[in-house]
Amino acid sequence: MPVYEYECDVCGMRFEMHQHFGEPHPTTCPAGHEGIHRVFAPPTIIFRGSGFYVTDNGRNGCLTHSLKDKQKKTDPVDKPEKPKIEGEST
């Protein structure tokens, strides 16, 4: 059951109620005053971690082709140079 938060227009008291989706909202606050309204709050979403990227939850751990191409262009590959031997022409 979801929890809904209400506020009284008369006394300013805030209270929570467990209600089913189709159940009508209350008309009085716990102090007995009429004229309450439901308080809407942003959803509680917490993003934790180093970052959220397309590759974080990829299918089968694979990158898309466009991301692979970008990585190839930006990530230099360390290729060891062949040692030059004296007297050898290239």
Question: What does the alpha-carbon distance between residue 50 and residue 53 come to, in Å, rounded to a whole number?
Answer: 10
DSSP reduced 3-state for 33 = coil
pLDDT tens digits, the chain, 90 residues: what are they? 888 999 999 999 999 999 998 899 899 999 999 999 999 988 777 777 766 666 655 555 555 555 555 555 555 556 666 667 776 665
Q: Which two tokens stand for residue 14?
A: 């805030």
Question: What does the alpha-carbon distance between residue 90 and residue 85 come to, in Å, rounded to a whole number?
Answer: 10
**pLDDT for residue 69:** 58
Domain residue spans in the chain? 3-39
